[in-house]
Structure 1
């Protein structure tokens, strides 16, 4: 869900900028000169499941167009560089696409070829790490302290509220209105089960900017 899923066609490139460079309804320009504004030289080249944009700066052609990423709905646009050049980014995505059926191989590739201190690549890594985990049963658990039942509780959805609301809506099969109501709760009961099964979900939510805990059931 973190990596690009939506791409513009040549004849829809300008329309693809809606919500980033201009308001889709009023067509009012959204670009600005201040920090946190969408810069006049930025153009979105693709977006992910959450409509988070990947973009290039048209003034950086001499640098072969480094690729930047920002979280949509964060309140401002803070660029995170995800590739030194557009070509490098394209090659990386092609490799991941070719190996993503084998999540463990994708995890290994990300460990060896991406900067896991980078906020974006760390989030991608957590996503593939979750996919790579094999189903766990009681006999496989060596740490018996993890065989305790409880719930994953989201105590704060974080700064990127729209992204987490979208995630909650899809994962809990809610309508947009229901997801919005749930997001305003002080605590959100996200999932229940055993710690061994749920600890990676806590890590995934934290990587997405939320505050989440595992709360054991009362004995």
Structure 2
């Protein structure tokens, strides 16, 4: 584990860029969490056993996770490839082996792409154009992203007018974490700015408060939590 995180990587993880699709990076390590963030990839989270290996399908010694999407799939770089600007790779979590997909971006250009996707929000046409113009659509990861965006509801994605109903002020609560409790906890820990264990403890309570605010700002969390299998409820509050 290097003592100093290379500046290009540090800048990427500190930007914390989020988009409106669960497939792209969502959860980033903080500088002080860099080593902990490698748990389950470079080493076993309980035993500390080294999980790296030069064998095909294993986690390679130079690989370090720089972000996870909302399905806990890792985006990673190889520290040995600094001269190439740290090309970014993706792999499917839970497949029984690690098959790295080269995303065709170095870490800086991926950061620029994510910023553009963040600005595009839920504009379906803009997001599709960004993927088509910026990526190799034959790449399995980008093809999946493109297909996912195509399936967005057109009315929701292209609407530019704010629905007055979204200007309601209230509270969002989780009434049931559902079958993916760990993933829900990982999602909420970033909102609450707490650790994963504390988030799991909170989810044992009834009607767990996610946040207070305008529905306009919290709708993203409602959608994402429901996609993760959680049951949520909204209650209006007086302003």
> What are the within-5 Å matches in structure 2 for residues 56-205 of structure 1?
56-134=77-155, 174-176=178-180
In the aligned structure 2, how far is the partner of 1:69 from the partner of 1:58? 15
Asked whether the equivalents of residues 63 and 79 of structure 2 are also in contact (C-alpha less than 8 Å), the reply is: yes
104 and 132 in structure 1: CA distance in 2 versus 1, 3 angstrom threshold: farther
What TM-score, normalized to structure 1? 0.60
- CA deviations over 1:14-59 (Å, ceiling 9, x no partner): 0000111111111111111100010010000001011100000000
In the aligned structure 1, how far is the partner of 2:179 from the partner of 2:109? 38
What TM-score, normalized to structure 2? 0.55
In the aligned structure 2, how far is the partner of 1:98 from the partner of 1:176? 29
Equivalent in the alignment of 2:73? 52
> What are the within-5 Å matches in structure 2 for residues 7-18 of structure 1?
7-18=28-39
In the aligned structure 2, how far is the partner of 1:175 from the partner of 1:75? 21
| Number of aligned positions between the proteins | 140
112 and 84 in structure 1: CA distance in 2 versus 1, 3 angstrom threshold: closer
CA RMSD of aligned residues (A): 1.8
Asked whether the equivalents of residues 53 and 71 of structure 1 are also in contact (C-alpha less than 8 Å), the reply is: yes
In structure 1, stretches of 5+ residues that fail to align are: 136-172, 178-219
Shift of 1:84: 3.2
Asked whether the equivalents of residues 104 and 135 of structure 2 are also in contact (C-alpha less than 8 Å), the reply is: no
Residue in structure 2 matching 1:27, options 22, 34, 48: 48
In structure 2, stretches of 5+ residues that fail to align are: 1-21, 157-176, 182-239
176 and 108 in structure 1: CA distance in 2 versus 1, 3 angstrom threshold: closer
Moved over 4 A (4+): none
Determine helix, strand or coil for the equivalent of 1:175: coil
Determine helix, strand or coil for the equivalent of 1:13: helix
In the aligned structure 2, how far is the partner of 1:6 from the partner of 1:110? 21
Determine helix, strand or coil for the equivalent of 1:14: helix
In the aligned structure 1, how far is the partner of 2:180 from the partner of 2:86? 36
Asked whether the equivalents of residues 104 and 132 of structure 1 are also in contact (C-alpha less than 8 Å), the reply is: no
